[in-house]
Amino acid sequence: MGKLLSVILLMVIVPQVSCYAQSDNYRAQGKYYAAKEQYESANYLAALQNVYEAKQLLGGGTNYHLQYLHILSAYAGKKYIEAQQELAVYFDLVDGKLKPIFFQRSVEALTNDEVTVLTKLIDQIDKAAYREDNKCAKCNGTGELKKACDFESPDANKYRMSCFGNGKYGTVCNVCYGTPYKKSNGCYQCNSTGTVYRTCPKCSGSGRLISKCDACDGKGVKP
Ligand SMILES: [Zn+2]
Ligand SMILES: [Zn+2]
Ligand SMILES: [Zn+2]
């Protein structure tokens, strides 16, 4: 009786197990198409998320199409080290070191154009990954340092005449000469404040001064 029950259970369970696996493969392919759509709409991080989920559904496996999309999405999403790592996985597939898990519904092989795109990217990915890996900490890889503008107008002692990150500096109003209370109806030009604001000449109104990072000599990479 126990044996018969096991046989029945096996008959019931086994087909279901393989059926689930198969549906996971279909779902993985769905995620792949979703990733492709996201990539084409320039939603690279969403594309990556779908790629991760597709791989999970393939039991952690991958195939040429998924790798292609993973590499392009990571690169376009500025995740260069990830792009480099996934490029290595792609070559493991090509070299037979890793067995691809194909989608069950047929997907055409990568086109020559797609392979060309990938080949052209190799060098750029390596360079960008190196930059990401060796990013200068002081300027966060930008090669530039930003600080609040320190411009001070010659009349700074009289009013708030300094930019100090505001992008504007005050000058003494040239209608009331900074003494609007002496005019009967106040001053129209400075709204009776005595001060007129002008765009800061030192930072051109941005309020920030940008200089070359001295830690990396503007290269953005650790010296
Ligand atoms: Zn005035
Ligand atoms: Zn300024
Ligand atoms: Zn730097």
CA 51/CA 33 separation, integer angstroms: 9
Residue type, 37: E
pLDDT at 223 over 90: no
Chain centroid, CA 191 distance in Å: 45
- Find residue 221's DSSP bridge partners: 135
Q: Average of pLDDT values for 20-42?
A: 91
Give the range among 47-56, 71-80, 140-149, 191-200 with minimum mean pLDDT: 191-200
The DSSP symbol for 108 reads P
| Ligand 2 midpoint to CA 163 (Å) | 5
Residues 86, 71 contacting (CB under 8 angstroms):
yes
Ligand nearest to the CA of 187: 1
Residues 79, 48 contacting (CB under 8 angstroms):
yes
**Domains of the chain (ranges, CATH numbers):** 2-133 (1.25.40)
* pLDDT tens sequence across 182-209: 667 788 888 888 888 889 999 999 999 9
CA 165/CA 148 separation, integer angstroms: 4
Query: What is the H or E stretch that residue 68 is in?
Result: helix 64-76
Ligand nearest to the CA of 131: 3
Name the residue among 117, 34, 14 with its Cα closest to residue 72: 117
| Ligand 3 midpoint to CA 135 (Å) | 8
Ligand nearest to the CA of 153: 2
Ligand nearest to the CA of 139: 3
What are the tokens at 175? 């209608």
Angstrom distances, CA of residue 119 to CA of 107, 126, 143, 199: 21, 12, 29, 49
Residues 139, 126 contacting (CB under 8 angstroms):
no
Residues 175, 182 contacting (CB under 8 angstroms):
no
| Ligand 2 midpoint to CA 144 (Å) | 17
| Ligand 3 midpoint to CA 140 (Å) | 7
* pLDDT tens sequence across 60-87: 999 999 999 999 999 999 999 999 999 9
